[in-house]
Structure 1
């Protein structure tokens, strides 16, 4: 791991760990903003998700805020420590979307200054989302799964083509050698026939 990654990951995850811990300890101040979103999303998720998942989703907004906070703490620690960093970053990105929509709906604010402040917070969260997405796809310079799959298939095709060409060459060489051998045997047979005929006369 490079020095930049060692510094960037904890810096990026710090706000999620701190805010997540605050959400677990004191969720009530966040409930009024989260309530409109959870009232719409929870029934939808329960309808779409398999029963074993849907039955485990908390009913109350307080518990949903706490659950989101716990996920942010775990995702932030995974990203900061590097243990499961890509999954942690992807998880944080997933939690950030509803938090941003519920927490900073600047399009609903009438007051011009308040709307501007909410827009700035919304844009900051979009910047964090971009950073998390980059962290989620960061392979530390090693080829990712998609790259390996694509290039592995291409390499296999190249090797197959080379193998076919080599087999054709070897087949061609074998056929030429067999023809030479047959011609040589035919010449020897003719000479033997001539010698036998000369001896008889």
Structure 2
């Protein structure tokens, strides 16, 4: 019997804003994901990934495309600015094409009273156009700066429960789609 390789999940930090709390939120989620059985978790911080705004070729774009291609699934950690998602996250989605296809994605959002849910709903439309599978469960933090302690932990029961449910859905889709991609090319 051969061992099954862990499912590779890349967590993409979408905010590049000065003073952002995104690394705290992503760090908390990554810790939960790394504890989930059968996952191999990486983090792509768009603040450290200088993708060109003109969507042109660059070494950063090539490296990003390769990482996206190797991943089995994704989690986008997104803030909500003016009822939308960050421009850097849209640039990341637009910088790659075929490598996104048929792969699942979950969302961890944060913001004011809406908790980033409007950004998540808009991103679901974007990823559908990229032929991605958006898992239903998401994680949302309203008034995010009040939700984390100085060690980057939260006691937000709804977020903790949502994270575990989302990871289960993401792992299921990623494993299932990886098997299918291995036998039949995606027809998109």
How high is the TM-score relative to the length of structure 2? 0.31
Bigger CA radius of gyration? 1
Task: Give the number of the structure with larger relative contact order, counting CA–CA contacts within 8 Å between residues 6 or more apart.
Answer: 2
> Which has more helix, going by share of residues?
1
> Which has more strand, going by share of residues?
2
